[in-house]
A and B are shown apart, each in its own frame.
Chain A
Amino acid sequence: MGDTSFTLKVNDSNITAKKGQSILEAALENDVYIPGICSSQPDLGIGVIQTCDTCYVEVNGELMRACSTDAQPDMVVNSVSGVAKEAQLEGMSRILKNHELYCTVCDNNNGNCVVHNTAEYLEIEHQKYEFQAKPYPPDTSHPFYRYEPDQFILCGLCVEACQDLQVSEVLSIDWEREQPRVIWDDDVPIDESSCVSCGHCVTVCPCNALMEKTMLGKAGFLTGMAKNMLEPMIDLTKEVEPGYKEIFAISNVEATMREDRIQKTKTVCTYCGVGCSFEVWTKGRDILRVQPKEDAPVNGISTCVKGKFGWDFVNSEERLTKPLIRKGDKFHEATWEEALNLMAEKFQSIKEKDGADALGFISSSKCSNEENYLFQKLARSVFQTNNIDNCSRYCQTPASAGLMRTVGIGGDSGTIEDIAVADLIMVVGANPAESHPVLSTRIRRAHKLNGQKLLVSDLRKHDLAERADLFIHPNPGTDLVWLSAVTKYILDQGWEDAKFLQDRVNQVEDYKKSLEKFTLEYAEKVTGLAKDTLIQVAEMIHESNGTCILWAMGVTQHMGGTDTSTAISNLLLVTGNYGKPGAGAFPLRGHNNVQGASDFGTMPNWLPGYEPVENDEVRSKYEQAWNTTIPKKPGLNNHQIVEAITDGRVKGMYLFGEEMGLVDSNINYVHEAFEKLEFFVVQDIFFSKTAEFADVVLPAAPSLEKEGTFTNTERRIQRFHQVLEPLGDSKPDWEIFRDFANKLGADWKYSHPSEIMDEAAQLAPIFAGVKYDRMEGWDSQIWPVKPNGESTPLLYKDKFKFLDGKARLFPVDWTPPMKYEDEFDLHLNNGRLLEQFHEGNMTDRSEGIHHIVPGPWLEVSMELAKERNIETGSLVRLISPYGKVKIRVLVTDRVTGKELYLPMNTADGEKAVNKLTSSYYDKDTHTPNYKEAKVKMDLLEQKGESPLPQHNFRFGNPQPHIGVEVEKKWKRADFTPIPETLKSEGVYNGQSDQAN
């Protein structure tokens, strides 16, 4: 390939451009500024939206938009000539007809207001066209943001973000009406629309038309003024203004003053495994806004409702602020000294009396890598037990195990980049639009704009299923069968990647033999999928240049969860979909640090970096470093710990950051176990359901109140920084572990999490080059990290993680899902929701989120509702062999036939889905088979209020189209192209002698 870059001239300087770049892009890349309000967010969807008309330049004497004109070799561009400036000024003047400049009293005057900065650059002096108020009141109906039509400049970045990046397709500009404006759906109040509250529109708004309500009246020194002061003041300013220059001088001073009191701190989101990072703007303890930046490595400017708006919990009155000690039937507030002394004494005495393995340690996938590292060090080196596990046991351990069997590393094989550029995305038993919202935007965008194919296999017709090119609905628990049948069909057709298999994969023949039973006929019988459909799936994979398979709990939470994950990896190996961009295996991690918790060793059989505890060499490395002995035998996992409590083997437990009392399966049984514990410590930010069973409750600090790192689903390690001081006497978890260990004589001297990371990096080879100072700002590292700091975004490029570098096809057989008595006639699916994180301990403390989703509901199919005479709002009781719940019904076509769906967003035991789930589990990893629940349903009340309010986005009416549709603007009778206007004013055309 030859060099595709060339030079052109912009304002007397020669710049380098690449083929296909616009003039504007090339100029900005070369630090030549050309204004361009609607180009201030170039990476949304279609790219150039051409609405603001502030980027006009002279190209060889002709006026052109710099944003939509390709740079050409030897082109001569002038952005500062008299004519170009007049054109830019005309564009800006049209914008100011729609936007009143009162910067000093505007909450968006924070130095980064694109409209302000562009007007200032253009040295605009006076309003050419008088500002005209629009005949629409502001829309303040949404709990989190408001729309002010009078400030709206018709640039449509919000529409572009909603239509082509988030792809919720809610916003449009209605160009048809006399005064165009943004409308939601088919013009309803925002709160009644299909808006998913992701915040994209607010984030990209170049002015204050769309703003977070938490900013309004709070950001500026003068913006909190009452209306009867503010309005005359704006009038006054306009009346006496000598020109905008002076106004800008004052507003710039005010914006600079704001820097003193508004802190902007980078953090990493804790609401799923995607790993969005963004700045949190705070004034004192008030969170003014969450501001994502395009530099964020995973999400750019994207967020979901939780990440953008769900942080109220940090200032909740209900936060734990003091250690609590159980005395009789009450908890008593205590000092840290008292609590830690009691813990030291009790844990020591249990260890002496019953041995170290009478203790259990449950770690948190919501807490940092450093905290997980320290907690396993506490269990292993201070107490000498391997009885430690984290909540990935509840979700993703089978996926990791399946990958370790076949390719060697239990993690995503690539990054979100690969997902965005893949030819075919297969989503199996996962609902990314709700559980991994920002990741799902990259799929929706690629599918909408770039022709990416989408294949979804699920029980529910969720968002991505609705959009899929092919949606398949296999019988519950039969994924392994259709995956294997498709793989066999591909091999039978000779569509496998023969060279890849020959060069890079072992056990091919054994594996082929194991597939014999998975004929299309057999698969059709077991899965209920037609043979033609299975062939269609095979063809889609065959025809694609690269396939990514994404899966989650629909696959893993079964008795054969590890095997099904293995079958996915086998399929990818057979088709050569590893080790190249735009392909690979993506087990979507549920919580922010599911990956990191396991990576840093809170597992019974692994030391940090997945080095087996049974390996003498590995163990002795840690024993030397820690100056201690570590037991060789792997410890008990979560599930086994609960079992061991029940039969009296485990007597003391230390759990942090995990609502095990609600999220473990069969919670009636788990609660009984908790009651049997001799001594139980629970460490959390709230008084959780689990804490009710504790003897000591310790107040921890959430991510916003500490430093550390998280590892997302891509294996990407990112730093988060302290935004606020810990509330009350609460402390970062790592400090608590350090102080507790020191009570037991450990003499740990850590004063900052970076020191913990340094220790882990020294010991675990996969983190060798991980260092805090390599993760400054938006920088991140993706493990394995070489000693020189080099990341590995794409795994298996040259070899798989086995001694001979070759992958292994691993034969697996189907484990039929658990059998129930006939009376349990309905299948109960369950999972998470977009708006609430998990059981809602954090997000439900946000008034706005609670307004959108006040509680859980039971999804019932149209058919079943008709058959049982049930309607939306009916109250039913669900009974399984393990417990019962009472819940109101939502009739929907997302589920079919006798399949129900119950989300887990409740702390109310009467509605908690895990009252119904069993204690059976994946045969290989002990992950509970949450997705193999069956129930019977009794109708308690026929009529009642809908459990999901009508204003929820699920009842909305999206209006899909591509972008902002600027052609409609150009067709309006009152639109004159800027060059025309300048011609009629005699500034342009023939008179370009002024152009100097």
Chain B
Amino acid sequence: MAKAIRQIERIESNVKEERAEDLSAILNKIADNREAIEEAIEIIEELHNAEVLPALKAILKTRQKVGAIAIEQINQPGMHNVIKNAMTMFTLLASIDSAQLQQLAGGLTEGVEKASESTKQTEDASLWSLLKATKDPNVKRSLNMMINFLNGMGEGLAKKQSH
């Protein structure tokens, strides 16, 4: 004769058992990955010593407030420019051919070297000597390059205006 009943007696020890099961599962995972875990612990130790972890923790715990402050600071016209400029710079860098840039940079370095040497000369260069210098094939090459650069830049500027 089984009357309808609803009361349920829970087993308390089950909670402990479940805990034990969970823990042993975790321990197994750790044991299986001993080397990786040990390295990870060392990294954590160093991060802690370097105050990185406490700082991170503080940021995470106050993330709502810090985030709001940060985003407010970032969301300003000045910062917009910074970000936009940074992105433009990236785009610029991305669009320049690295071989060409290397050639240019090489020229620039030597030019700088010569230039710094020239500052050591005490006497002023005469107009004549300057004119004479334009005959030097190295100077000619540089001037030619500069004029072509100005030409290209002008083209680029004209494109932007008509756009």
Contact = CB atoms under 8 A, between A and B. Distances in A.
Interface of A: 225-226, 228-229, 232-233, 235-236, 239-240, 242, 246, 322, 324, 326-327, 329-334, 671, 674-677, 680, 687, 689, 692-695
A734 B156 CA distance: 75
Given A240-B83, A242-B91, A331 B8 contact: yes
B105 to A, nearest CB: 26
Contacts of B72: 232
25 contacts: A228-B68, A229-B67, A229-B71, A232-B68, A232-B72, A233-B75, A236-B71, A236-B74, A236-B75, A242-B84, A246-B87, A324-B8, A327-B9, A329-B3, A329-B7, A331-B8, A332-B8, A332-B9, A333-B9, A675-B1, A675-B4, A689-B4, A692-B5, A693-B2, A693-B3
B97 to A, nearest CB: 21
Interface string B1-20: 11111111111001000000
Contacts of B75: 232-233, 235-236, 239
Given A236-B74, A239-B80, A240-B84, A333 B2 contact: no
Interface in B91-134: 91
Given A229-B64, A240-B87, A326-B2, A333 B7 contact: no
A221 to B, nearest CB: 14
Contacts of B4: 671, 674-675, 689, 692-693
B91 to A, nearest CB: 7
B122 to A, nearest CB: 51
A671 B3 CA distance: 9
Given A675-B2, A695-B2, 16 more contacts: A226-B68, A229-B68, A232-B71, A232-B75, A233-B75, A236-B80, A239-B75, A329-B7, A331-B7, A331-B8, A333-B8, A671-B4, A692-B4, A692-B5, A692-B6, A693-B3
Given A229-B68, A233-B71, A240-B84, A330 B3 contact: no
A675 B3 contact: yes
A674 B6 contact: no
A677 B2 contact: yes
A324 B11 CA distance: 10
A330 B5 contact: yes
A692 B8 CA distance: 10
Nearest to A228: B68
A254 B32 CA distance: 32
B68 to A, nearest CB: 5
**Do most interface residues of chain A lie in helix, strand or loop, or is the interface mixed?**
mixed
B151 to A, nearest CB: 28
Contacts of A226: 64, 68
- Residue from B2, B3, B6, B9 having most chain A Cβ neighbours under 10 A: B2
Nearest to A321: B14
A896 B135 CA distance: 113
B2 A322 contact: no
Given A240-B87, A674-B2, A331 B71 contact: no
Contacts of A674: 2, 4
B9 A331 contact: yes
Interface residues of B, number: 25
A322 to B, nearest CB: 7
A211 B104 CA distance: 56
B160 to A, nearest CB: 16
A225 B5 CA distance: 47
Contact of A330 (B1, B9, B67): B9
Contact of A333 (B6, B10, B80): B10
The 8 closest A-B pairs by CB, nearest first: A692-B4, A333-B11, A240-B83, A232-B75, A232-B71, A332-B9, A330-B7, A331-B8
- Residue from B4, B7, B87, B91 having most chain A Cβ neighbours under 10 A: B4
A333 B9 CA distance: 6
A331 B5 contact: yes
A233 B71 CA distance: 7
B65 to A, nearest CB: 10
Nearest to B81: A240
Contacts of A332: 8-9, 11
Contacts of A676: 1
Contacts of B11: 322, 332-334
Contacts of A680: 2
Contacts of A232: 68, 71-72, 75
B64 A333 contact: no
B150 to A, nearest CB: 28
A687 B6 contact: yes
A298 B147 CA distance: 73
B18 to A, nearest CB: 9
A687 B8 contact: yes
B1 A240 contact: no
Contacts of B6: 687, 692
A687 B14 CA distance: 19
A326 B91 CA distance: 74
A334 B80 CA distance: 64
Contacts of B3: 329, 675, 693
- Residue from A240, A246, A677 having most chain B Cβ neighbours under 10 A: A240
Contacts of A677: 2
Contacts of A693: 2-4
Contacts of A689: 4
A675 B2 CA distance: 5
B5 A329 contact: yes
A864 to B, nearest CB: 35
Contacts of A687: 6, 8
Given A229-B64, A680-B2, A330 B71 contact: no
Contacts of A675: 1-4
Nearest to A239: B80
Nearest to B8: A331
A236 B67 CA distance: 13
A329 B64 CA distance: 52
Contacts of A246: 87
Nearest to A694: B2
A735 to B, nearest CB: 19
Nearest to A333: B11
B80 A240 contact: yes
A381 B72 CA distance: 73
A438 to B, nearest CB: 36
Given A226-B64, A229-B64, A326 B8 contact: no
Nearest to A674: B2
Nearest to B10: A333
A905 B1 CA distance: 29
A232 B6 CA distance: 54
A330 B8 contact: yes
Contacts of A236: 71, 74-75, 80
Contacts of B1: 675-676
A247 to B, nearest CB: 12
Interface in B23-80: 64, 67-68, 71-72, 74-75, 80
